């Protein structure tokens, strides 16, 4: 009897390996939640794009294409009408209707949500009939359909039945560990920090391009371990490949490397509102970063070419503004970043009355961006040359965002990739004066505030004329650059590695879309 | 036993040349001179310890002073001029442009400091408990030795990690980096006292029934004085052997903890931390960042261990 069981178990094991295509992949960051409205960060949204869907989605070339809405048109007086796809079901079998869209709007735009600023221009959402819905905006918003590809639709009945009507940002609820979307894959196992299992959804409305029967995601924090796992065939794909290993890996047999430029700009952020420094040696030192000369001195001291040559090994481009040159609305005239000039920086500090320098605390993630901790260490040693002694505190990203939200920093590292691929996006999130009611500046941790930037933002959002819009974007970018609201350093490279038998598509927003994966 | 104990005491550095000469010409010194392993490993240990102690004077760079670092020097291969700055480094540089030779010297300082302090702590704790257990007997002995037995069933590194984790939980976040070294010493010391306690208890059981102890008891000396003044000097020679071997193990334990990322913080890198950093560049061809700290750790631990082995043989009268 026991032998029979063993034999049948063996047959089963052989059977699955022969017919099914299991796909295992690894990344340094575990998506911290399975709730599509709780955290507006790329690891979460990128992962959940496989499980949930929005009204629109982005194709392989980042162009917007129909998803749960089949077509849309502007309506008079500002707003858009979306015609929804019929016959779509959620993973648990319930039907998708306009009610779910309305519910997902309320959920994603609520105060408990991290995604509320996506809907800053929306005044109301009106259900017309089961498969038509109107999004009313306070003024014409030409880029609205472009800006909601990551607004994912959740089943209203499921959320209500499980007490997950509102997203849980820093706590947990049913939707943190479970999902019910309409996407091509459904979540069948979730152990935070250990592994997450996805299976194809049989009732998906689209035509499957992939041939995966089971997909397993494992977070591997140590980059060298991830490379070893890829080389030994323990995983089929890793994201990212450590920069230092890209060249060697591309020459290894059985493995290939996908390389591109990501939309993400890595920058340093300042406390603009804080009265005193939190981590200065002499406690209670007035916050020197409110002085634009000090911020400019920092910008001049950070030797970006050196970072790019050594830590990034020539795989990244310098950045001068909050978006990369590949984004719509980039200001070509402002492409130069401050030259590396230690003497000039010292002179600026002296002018600000801080010739002796000061000490402060630099916060940094150590598992979020490529070589993030090494970049911060380099920044520390560069700033020391003008007498700014930074104490570096590097931590995993799950502790990092709460620290920033609690204002526990004197300077921090941030990477920003505009979800809309438009220069307006970082202004709305990073430069607009934080305002919970208007859903603005939700990632502007330091509280940078400039009345002209605030004034320009709604005008940019509703401007239909391309040239006028660009002129306003240029003006905003100029103010942000002159004020040194942030110190943009470089555009992060995008390097993935996969086994040779894997076909996949690398999207510039670093989202890994499972339905484009083929295992040969 | 008594003789050898006295001799080991004299091996401690002494300024009197005549005493040194006595040791050199004794049986012990003869055994040392005749053993090439002992000679070589002693020289290696002396060389490494001296260079660690002298690190601030002999290191070409100060790896802890960020002002002196130039990022453009990053990843310079050993003894090759950097393509951009023209600077050359004997053992190359790491990703931040730090001189690998200097980081090894400073790293070894921390490794040795943690190793010595942890062994000292374990020795004091173990010898005290072992003496008390052996001399007092009864339920005190049972209690101490059963705790020791239970601890022996766990791997030392596991105990150290447990203690390190608990202690870290109690330290406020802002002091964690400064306290890390002391917590490390505590963790490794607490995981290592059992060896000392067991050996000292065994030796004490033998010694306490000898005539000189009974004589001391008869003239009315207190228990503490008997343990300290009479028994302790006579049980010290095995303790010295264990301490030497424990030193090698403590250095390895510290490196293991630091390699796992729970030991010395990156701001005070020990050899283990350096190996952990270097491991990230293993696949990318910058072998020197990993290799040189590893070789240093290997030679340090190996020669201390060989020295301990030789000491055990030399102090064992049955092997003479």
The reply to whether B184 falls in a domain is yes
- The answer to whether the Cβ–Cβ distance between A242 and B280 falls below 8 Å is yes
- The answer to whether the Cβ–Cβ distance between B66 and A381 falls below 8 Å is yes
Instruction: Report pLDDT for B265.
Output: 77
Segment A116-122 mean pLDDT: 86
Residue burial A130-168, b: 16+ Cβ < 10 Å; e: rest: ebebebbbbebbbbbbbbbbbbbbbbbebbeeeebbbbb
Give CA–CA dist A137/A125, Å, rounded: 9
Q: Is the pLDDT of residue B174 over 80?
A: no
Residues of B in contact with A380 (CB under 8 A): 66
CATH number at residue B191: 1.10.3720.10
Segment A96-105 mean pLDDT: 95
- Within 310-339 of A, beta carbons closer than 8 Å to B belong to 310-311
pLDDT level of residue B320 (50, 70, 90 thresholds)? low
Instruction: Report pLDDT for A11.
Output: 43
Instruction: Report pLDDT for B22.
Output: 80
Q: Is the pLDDT of residue A315 over 90?
A: no
Instruction: Report pLDDT for B144.
Output: 94
| Percentage above 90 pLDDT, chain A | 68
Q: Which residue of B has its CA nearest to A226?
A: B280
For residue A325, CA distances in Å to A49, A428, A505 come to: 25, 18, 22
Instruction: Report pLDDT for A6.
Output: 47
Cis preceding linkage at B151, omega within 30: no
Contact B243, B123 (CB under 8 A): yes
DSSP, residue by residue, A219-263: E--SHHHHHHHHHTTS-SEEESPPHHHHHHHHHSTTEEEEEEEEE
Residues of B in contact with A224 (CB under 8 A): 279-280, 282-283
Give the ipTM of the model, two decimals please.
Answer: 0.71
Nearest CA-CA distance, residue A244 and chain B, Å? 5
DSSP A115: -
Instruction: Report pLDDT for A139.
Output: 82
Would you call B178 helix, strand, or coil by DSSP?
Answer: helix
pLDDT level of residue A7 (50, 70, 90 thresholds)? very low
pLDDT level of residue B15 (50, 70, 90 thresholds)? low
The reply to whether B249 falls in a domain is yes
Q: Is the pLDDT of residue A19 over 50?
A: no
Instruction: Report pLDDT for A421.
Output: 85
Q: Is the pLDDT of residue B61 over 90?
A: no
A250 contact B CB<8A: no
The reply to whether B44 falls in a domain is no
Q: Which residue of A has its CA nearest to B280?
A: A224
Nearest CA-CA distance, residue B185 and chain A, Å? 23
**Average pLDDT of the residues of chain A:** 90
Would you call A110 helix, strand, or coil by DSSP?
Answer: coil
Give CA–CA dist A485/A479, Å, rounded: 9
Q: Is the pLDDT of residue B279 over 90?
A: no
Instruction: Report pLDDT for B67.
Output: 80
Q: Which of A245, A247, A381 sits opposite B69 (nearest CB)?
A: A381
Residue B103's nearest CA partner among B282, B300, B278 is B278
Nearby residues of B98 by Cβ (< 8 Å), 6 or more positions away: B61, B63, B69
Q: Is the pLDDT of residue A267 over 90?
A: yes
Residues of B in contact with A248 (CB under 8 A): 283-285
Give CA–CA dist B268/B258, Å, rounded: 11
> Considering only A11-25, A82-96, A128-142, which range has the smallest mean pLDDT?
A11-25
What does the H/E/C string look like for A12-80?
HHHHHHHHCCEEEEEECCCCCCCCCCCCCCHHHHHHHCCCCCCCEEECCCCCEEECCEEEEEECCCCEE
DSSP, residue by residue, A293-344: HHHHHHHHHS-HHHHHHHTSTT--EE-SSSS-TTSBT--GGG-PPPP--HHH
> Considering only A453-457, B46-50, B179-183, which range has the smallest mean pLDDT?
B179-183
Give CA–CA dist B277/B261, Å, rounded: 10
pLDDT digits (tens, 9 = 90+) for A190-242: 999 899 999 999 999 998 899 999 999 999 988 888 999 999 999 999 999 98
**Average pLDDT of the residues of chain B:** 86
Instruction: Report pLDDT for B26.
Output: 79
Nearby residues of B52 by Cβ (< 8 Å), 6 or more positions away: B105, B108, B109, B111, B112
Instruction: Report pLDDT for B135.
Output: 92
Alpha helix stretches (DSSP H) within chain B: 2-10, 17-25, 27-34, 36-53, 55-58, 100-136, 138-152, 156-170, 176-190, 193-207, 211-218, 223-225, 232-259, 271-279, 288-315
Instruction: Report pLDDT for B4.
Output: 47
Give CA–CA dist A227/A239, Å, rounded: 10
Nearest CA-CA distance, residue A231 and chain B, Å? 11
Would you call B257 helix, strand, or coil by DSSP?
Answer: helix
A359 contact B CB<8A: no
Residues of A in contact with B285 (CB under 8 A): 248
pLDDT digits (tens, 9 = 90+) for A158-168: 999 999 999 98
Segment B279-293 mean pLDDT: 87
Nearest CA-CA distance, residue B70 and chain A, Å? 8
The reply to whether B293 falls in a domain is yes
Give CA–CA dist A228/B39, Å, rounded: 41
The reply to whether B182 falls in a domain is yes
Segment B270-287 mean pLDDT: 86
Site of tokens 């010295």: B240
Range of the domain at B108: 60-319
The reply to whether B173 falls in a domain is yes
Segment A58-80 mean pLDDT: 90
Q: Which two tokens stand for residue B223?
A: 């228990």
Instruction: Report pLDDT for B17.
Output: 62
The reply to whether B6 falls in a domain is no
The reply to whether B109 falls in a domain is yes
Instruction: Report pLDDT for A142.
Output: 83
Give CA–CA dist A259/A51, Å, rounded: 25
- The answer to whether the Cβ–Cβ distance between A244 and B279 falls below 8 Å is no
pLDDT digits (tens, 9 = 90+) for B188-207: 999 889 999 999 999 999 99
Q: Is the pLDDT of residue B11 over 60?
A: no
In this structure, how many other beta carbons lie within 10 angstroms of the beta carbon of residue B198? 21
Give Dmax over CA atoms of chain A in angstroms. Answer: 87
pLDDT digits (tens, 9 = 90+) for A373-416: 899 999 999 999 999 999 888 888 888 988 899 999 999 999 99
Q: Is the pLDDT of residue A15 over 50?
A: no
Instruction: Report pLDDT for B319.
Output: 59
**What dihedral do alpha carbons A5, A10, A13, A14 form, nearest 10°?**
-140
Residues of B in contact with A303 (CB under 8 A): 71-72
Number of domains in chain B: 1
């Amino acid at each position: 009897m026991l032998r029979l069981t063993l034999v049948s178990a063996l047959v089963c094991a052989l059977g699955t390996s022969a017919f099914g295509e299991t796909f295992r992949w690894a990344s340094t960051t575990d998506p911290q939640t399975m709730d599509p409205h709780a955290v507006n960060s790329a690891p979460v949204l990128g992962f959940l794009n496989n499980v949930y869907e929005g009204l629109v989605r982005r194709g392989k070339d980042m162009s917007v294409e129909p998803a749960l809405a089949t077509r849309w048109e502007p309506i008079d007086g500002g707003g858009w009408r979306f015609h929804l796809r019929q016959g779509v079901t959620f993973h648990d079998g319930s039907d998708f209707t306009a009610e779910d869209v309305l519910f997902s709007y309320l959920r994603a735009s609520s105060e408990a949500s991290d995604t509320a600023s996506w809907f800053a221009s929306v005044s109301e959402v009106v259900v017309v009939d089961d498969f038509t819905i109107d999004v009313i905006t306070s003024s014409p918003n030409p880029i609205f359909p472009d800006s909601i590809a990551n607004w994912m639709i959740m089943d209203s009945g499921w959320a209500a039945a499980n007490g997950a009507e509102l997203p849980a940002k820093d706590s947990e609820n049913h939707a943190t560990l479970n999902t019910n979307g309409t996407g091509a894959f459904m979540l069948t196992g979730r152990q935070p920090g250990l592994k997450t299992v996805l299976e194809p959804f049989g009732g998906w409305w689209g035509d499957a391009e992939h041939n995966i029967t089971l997909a397993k995601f494992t977070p591997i924090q140590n980059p060298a371990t991830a490379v070893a796992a890829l080389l030994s065939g323990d995983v089929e794909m890793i994201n990212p490949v450590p920069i230092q290993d890209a060249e060697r890996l591309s020459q290894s047999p059985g493995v290939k490397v996908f390389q591109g430029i990501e939309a993400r700009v890595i920058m340093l952020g300042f406390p603009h509102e804080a009265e005193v420094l939190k981590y200065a040696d002499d406690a209670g030192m007035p916050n020197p970063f409110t002085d634009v000369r000090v911020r400019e001195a920092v910008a001049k001291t950070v030797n970006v070419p050196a970072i790019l040559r050594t830590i990034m090994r020539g795989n990244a481009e310098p950045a001068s503004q909050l978006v990369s040159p590949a984004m719509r609305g980039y200001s070509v005239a402002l492409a130069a970043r401050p030259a590396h000039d230690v003497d000039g920086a010292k002179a600026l500090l002296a002018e600000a009355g801080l010739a002796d320098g000061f000490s402060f605390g630099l916060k940094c993630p150590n598992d979020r961006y490529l070589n993030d901790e090494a970049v911060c260490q380099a920044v520390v040693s560069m700033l020391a040359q003008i007498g700014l002694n930074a104490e570096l505190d590097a931590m995993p990203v799950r502790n990092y965002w709460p620290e920033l939200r609690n204002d526990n920093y004197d300077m921090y590292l941030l990477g920003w990739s505009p979800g809309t691929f438009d220069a307006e996006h970082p202004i709305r999130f990073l430069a607009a004066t934080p305002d919970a009611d208007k859903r603005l500046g939700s990632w502007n941790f330091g509280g940078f505030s400039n009345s002209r930037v605030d004034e320009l933002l709604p005008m940019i959002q509703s401007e239909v004329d391309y040239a006028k819009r660009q002129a306003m974007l240029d003006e905003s970018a100029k103010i942000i650059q002159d004020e040194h609201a942030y110190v943009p350093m470089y555009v992060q490279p995008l390097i993935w590695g996969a086994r040779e038998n894997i076909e996949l598509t690398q999207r510039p927003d670093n989202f890994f879309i499972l339905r484009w994966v083929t295992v040969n | 036993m008594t003789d050898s104990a006295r001799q080991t005491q004299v091996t401690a550095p002494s300024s009197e040349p005549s005493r040194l000469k006595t040791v050199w010409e004794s049986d012990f010194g003869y055994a040392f001179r005749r053993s090439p392993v002992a000679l070589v490993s002693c020289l290696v240990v002396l060389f490494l310890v001296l260079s660690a102690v002298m690190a601030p004077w002999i290191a070409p760079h100060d790896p802890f002073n960020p002002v002196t670092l130039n990022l453009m020097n990053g990843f310079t291969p050993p003894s090759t001029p950097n393509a951009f700055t023209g600077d050359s480094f004997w053992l190359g540089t790491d990703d931040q442009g730090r001189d690998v030779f200097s980081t090894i010297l400073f790293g070894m300082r921390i490794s040795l400091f943690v190793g010595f302090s942890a062994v000292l702590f374990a020795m004091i704790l173990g010898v005290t408990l072992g003496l008390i257990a052996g001399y007092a007997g009864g339920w005190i002995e049972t209690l101490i030795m059963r705790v020791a037995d239970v601890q022996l069933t766990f791997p030392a590194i596991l105990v150290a990690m447990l203690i390190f984790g608990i202690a870290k939980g109690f330290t406020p976040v802002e002091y964690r980096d400064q306290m890390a070294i002391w917590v490390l010493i505590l963790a490794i010391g607490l995981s290592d006292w059992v060896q000392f306690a067991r050996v000292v208890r065994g030796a004490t059981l033998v010694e306490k029934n000898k005539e000189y102890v009974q004589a001391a008891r008869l003239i009315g000396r207190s228990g503490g004085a008997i343990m300290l003044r009479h028994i302790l000097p006579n049980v010290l020679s095995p303790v010295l052997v264990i301490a030497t071997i424990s030193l090698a193990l403590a250095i390895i334990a510290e490196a293991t903890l630091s390699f796992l990322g729970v030991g010395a913080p990156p701001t005070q890198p020990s050899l283990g931390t350096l190996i952990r950093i270097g491991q990230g560049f293993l696949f990318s061809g910058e072998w020197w960042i990993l290799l040189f700290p590893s070789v240093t750790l290997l030679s340090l631990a190996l020669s201390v261990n060989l020295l301990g082995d030789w000491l055990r043989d030399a102090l064992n009268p049955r092997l003479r």
